[in-house]
């Protein structure tokens, strides 16, 4: 497995990503996925917001934006999968190159910009999935949408994926869509959550709704977010998205590279955010994500107060081996 991943490093990031996931899908379709899974990944079930997870480790949004790989990723032993970020209309995202790997620091910088095939494509994938585990859908707004249209984008995605998902994540924290993080402000977040809550009331069932926030916000903004979460009955927080703080990297050649930084350099910052939120509100459910690349990081994230943990960069850099490393 390590040899295969060393070969993939020779390809550009997006080509390597495509080869990896499509290769995994082929292996799964051939019935050979058991060679890449651990027998011990389903021994730690956990219940949160009336959802039962086979274990506390999930894959974060961004890896499978369009739901093309739900079944093959699920077969690896994850306790849950989050797909997206999805937008109402398909969009190409930002110009390439837009992913930069910093192997020596177990880090990635990306400025993808919500590249996806649109919500209608994802709906078809959700309808046809065979994976019976928990699947969340991460929703966002199209790049060209501004003001009230941006809120309409979230509502449209919310309506279309609600019945087909186990939970929904409202992504207001990607640094790669211009002004998206403005949704952290009091006026904007209240308008957004009010609109989504109104839509949720129209459904017969109540699905958990999480809010994914930035690690770069001030304590004052965090308090505003918590107040809004309580007022509109948001189920919990996903902490956190990528950071724009490149000073966390030792390699200063990336200091001015646009995009969000993920991986090991983000670990302390995202974990401290989990601790800060828990101090402000010990009762709020948290999915911790950011920089988990080994067992120690996984345990620390849980010890900080996370109920569940997601990985992204660690999976990209280590492959399926990391699942058994964290859970066995």
Instruction: Say whether 174 is catalytic.
Output: yes
pTM, to two decimals: 0.94
Q: Per-residue pLDDT for the chain (328 aa), expressed as one digit of tens each?
A: 565 666 777 777 888 888 888 888 988 888 888 776 665 555 679 999 999 999 999 999 999 999 999 999 999 999 999 999 999 999 999 999 999 999 999 999 999 999 999 999 999 999 999 999 999 999 999 999 998 999 999 999 999 999 999 999 999 988 888 888 888 888 899 999 999 999 999 998 899 999 999 999 999 999 999 999 999 999 999 999 999 999 999 999 999 999 999 999 999 999 999 999 999 999 999 999 999 999 999 999 999 999 999 999 999 988 898 999 999 8
d(CA 290, CA 328): 21
Catalytic residue among 165, 174, 240, 262: 174
Q: Give the single-character DSSP code of 253.
A: G
DSSP count for the chain of H helices, then E strands: 11, 13
322 in Cβ contact with 38 (< 8 Å)? no
Backbone angles phi, psi at 26, to 5 degrees: -65, -45
SS3 state at 210: strand
In order of their start, the domains of the chain are 2-327 (3.20.20.70)
């Amino acid at each position: 497995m390590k040899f295969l991943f060393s070969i993939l490093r020779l390809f550009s990031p997006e080509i390597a990503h495509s080869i990896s996931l499509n290769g995994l899908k082929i292996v799964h379709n051939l019935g050979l996925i058991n060679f890449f899974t651990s027998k011990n990944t389903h021994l730690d079930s956990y219940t949160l917001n009336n959802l039962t997870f086979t274990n506390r480790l999930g894959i974060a949004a961004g890896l499978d934006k369009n739901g093309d790989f739900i079944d093959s990723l699920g077969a690896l032993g994850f306790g849950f999968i989050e797909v997206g970020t999805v937008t109402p209309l398909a969009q190409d995202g930002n110009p390439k190159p837009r992913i930069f790997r910093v192997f020596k620091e177990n880090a990635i910088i990306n400025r993808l910009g919500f590249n996806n095939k649109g919500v209608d494509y994802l709906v078809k994938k959700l309808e046809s999935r065979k994976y019976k585990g928990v699947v969340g859908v991460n929703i966002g707004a199209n790049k060209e949408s501004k003001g009230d249209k941006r809120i309409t984008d979230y509502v449209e995605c919310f309506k279309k994926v609600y019945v087909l998902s186990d939970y929904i994540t409202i992504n207001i924290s990607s640094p790669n869509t211009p002004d998206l993080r403005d949704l952290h402000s009091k006026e904007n977040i209240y308008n957004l959550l009010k609109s989504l809550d109104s839509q949720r009331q129209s459904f017969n069932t109540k699905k958990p709704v999480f809010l994914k926030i930035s690690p770069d916000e001030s304590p004052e903004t965090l308090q505003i977010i918590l107040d809004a979460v309580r007022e509109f009955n948001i189920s919990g927080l996903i902490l956190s998205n990528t950071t724009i703080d490149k000073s966390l990297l030792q390699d200063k050649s990336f200091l001015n590279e646009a995009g969000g930084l993920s991986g090991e350099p983000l670990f302390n910052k995202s974990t401290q955010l989990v601790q800060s939120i828990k101090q402000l509100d010990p009762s709020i459910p948290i999915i911790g994500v950011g920089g988990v690349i080994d067992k120690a990081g996984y345990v620390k994230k849980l010890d900080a107060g996370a109920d569940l943990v997601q990985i992204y960069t660690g999976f990209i850099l280590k492959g399926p081996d990391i699942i058994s490393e964290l859970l066995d």
